[in-house]
């Protein structure tokens, strides 16, 4: 007994198989990290731990400048600071360091697919 296949039936069967397979793949939804709050660090243009030095003829920044636990003597070179300067342990620069670390840890704990 010979079996004859209708070419259009085979084409439709093949197309429905492709549609079924494609239907199971789903949609790719990008998972990007969300920006954490910077808290007390948001006003700082430069925030460092122990020392900082201006590049070349000097450095101009628009926001605050801070060192913690570093002191003012640890800042070298000519700086033009648009905001305020904070130095040492226990001041606003120390609070900003904690806020910056919290933001960093927040980003590290978020999942992302790299897209």
Q: Would you kindly state where each structural domain of the chain is located, as residue ranges? A: 39-109
Percent of the chain with pLDDT over 90: 57
- Residues 42, 43, 49, 51, Cα dihedral to 10°: 150
Cα distance between residue 36 and residue 104, in whole Å: 8
Model confidence, pTM: 0.66
pLDDT tens column, 21-62: 444 455 555 567 788 999 999 999 999 999 999 988 889 999
**What residues contact 68, with CB distance under 8 A and at least 6 apart?**
49, 86, 87, 88, 89, 91, 93, 94, 96, 97
Residue 30 confidence (pLDDT): 57
């Amino acid at each position: 007994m010979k079996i004859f296949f209708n070419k259009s039936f085979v084409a439709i069967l093949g197309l429905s198989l492709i549609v079924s397979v494609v239907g199971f793949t789903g949609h790719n939804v990008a998972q990007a990290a969300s920006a954490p709050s910077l808290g007390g660090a948001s006003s700082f243009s430069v925030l460092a731990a122990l020392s900082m030095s201006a590049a070349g003829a000097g450095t101009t920044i628009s926001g605050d400048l801070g060192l913690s636990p570093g002191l003012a003597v640890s800042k070298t070179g000519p700086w033009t600071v648009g905001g305020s300067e904070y130095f040492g342990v226990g001041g606003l620069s120390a609070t900003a360091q904690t806020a910056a670390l919290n933001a960093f840890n927040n980003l590290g704990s978020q999942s992302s697919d790299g897209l």
